Amino acid sequence: MTGKGRRPNVLLITCDQWRGDCLSTAGHLQVKTPNADALAAEGVLFKRHYGGAAPCSPARACLYTGLYQMNNRVCRNGTPLDARHGNIALAARSVGYDPTLFGYTD
């Protein structure tokens, strides 16, 4: 938090086909990622996070909804989220944040 009563800024980065152990902050000895390392130093770095499904779009759906693939029904790339399910963006909006998505939207 930046001051009394102020909410923290939130930046959620999800990367497609990028191994998390390929960050110098996660212990990789040859790859240098100073900007990602700086973000991780000021925030939270999940060193043992695993995708809830495969391929990438179903995995993102699991992360964003908190539901297993069999419940969120996103079984392949290109399948939109069912509007009946909540997601992290809707939860953020409900408490006053203005979430923005860049990149993949399936």
The pLDDT value recorded for residue 92 is 96
What distance in Å separates the CA atoms of residue 50 and residue 53, rounded to the nearest whole number?
A: 9
Query: Active-site residues: which are they?
Result: 56
pLDDT in tens, 23-38: 898 888 999 999 999 9
Q: Calculate the CA 38 to chain-centre distance.
A: 17
Least confident of 43-47, 83-87, 92-96: 43-47
- The pLDDT of residue 11 is above 80: yes
Query: How many CA atoms, within 13 angstroms, populate the side-chain half-sphere of residue 102?
Result: 5
Count how many residues are written for the chain. 106
Average of per-residue pLDDT across 10-21: 81
Least confident of 41-45, 64-68, 89-93: 41-45
**pTM higher than 0.95, yes or no?**
no
Confidence of residue 47 (pLDDT cuts 50, 70, 90): confident
